[in-house]
Structure 1
Amino acid sequence: MARISTYIQYISLPHDNLKLVLEIWYDPQLLWQDGSRKDGTDNTPVITAINEFLYTLEFNGELILTKLIDYLQNVEGVKIPKLRQAYSKYGSFDYQVIDETYIARAGYMRLDLDTTQINYLPREL
């Protein structure tokens, strides 16, 4: 009697890139104009929060941009986070616009620090 077997091939793909264009209105009592905390506890609190948010997504989970903005609203010192544009990129393909949701081809994403633009604007109310 012959054995029937199943061949399984595991493939690990490089991460998808996430490029963001953000405007962050910040509290000038808590953050410097470059977005770092004045108390010195975090030099990049907005980037840290974005990375934390991406880490919380399940493998093959859906990125929902509204939820990302909700997450950024909880960063101490951030008054108004505004997403201007969002893009995804897999491998050597060009960046593609993300309208609201995206599921990474590789199953996970990383923030592309070389192309992401964050403009910090003081909010003095």
Structure 2
Amino acid sequence: MTPESLQRILMVEDEPDIRTVAELALEAIGGFELTACESGQHALKKIEECRPQLIVLDVMMPCMDGPATLRAIRAMPGYATVPAVFMTAKVQSDEVQSYLALGAAGVIPKPFDPLTLADQIREIWNEAHAIG
């Protein structure tokens, strides 16, 4: 059985410049429907509206960081198993392991390459569905 194709992504990133580049990479290059939020709180308000198939989270954000946002999303009905990807500059192996232990399907290092970001996301999506 082939996995359903990925279309809807929720991205949570507090840096406007990074959000803009990721929007271009995922919408224009990747062809995804992207909902971009500037905070974990904003993401929690928007998630029901966009019904993402995959969530991309910045790790370090003010107020509510990526791991806290993921925990809050996981507690919502229907989102316990939605694949999540962390984007971070902190990619030491122990840090990556801690993100995976939180239930992340993958970790994308920053700075990311806008030309390959959509492919990286698709690869993580396919791996998440090959396991499940």
Determine which structure has more spread, i.e. the larger CA radius of gyration. 1
Question: Would the TM-score normalized by the shorter structure come out above 0.5?
Answer: no
More strand by share: 1
More helix by share: 2
**Higher RCO (CA 8 Å, separation ≥ 6 residues):** 1
User: What TM-score comes out, normalization by structure 1 length?
Assistant: 0.29
User: What TM-score comes out, normalization by structure 2 length?
Assistant: 0.28
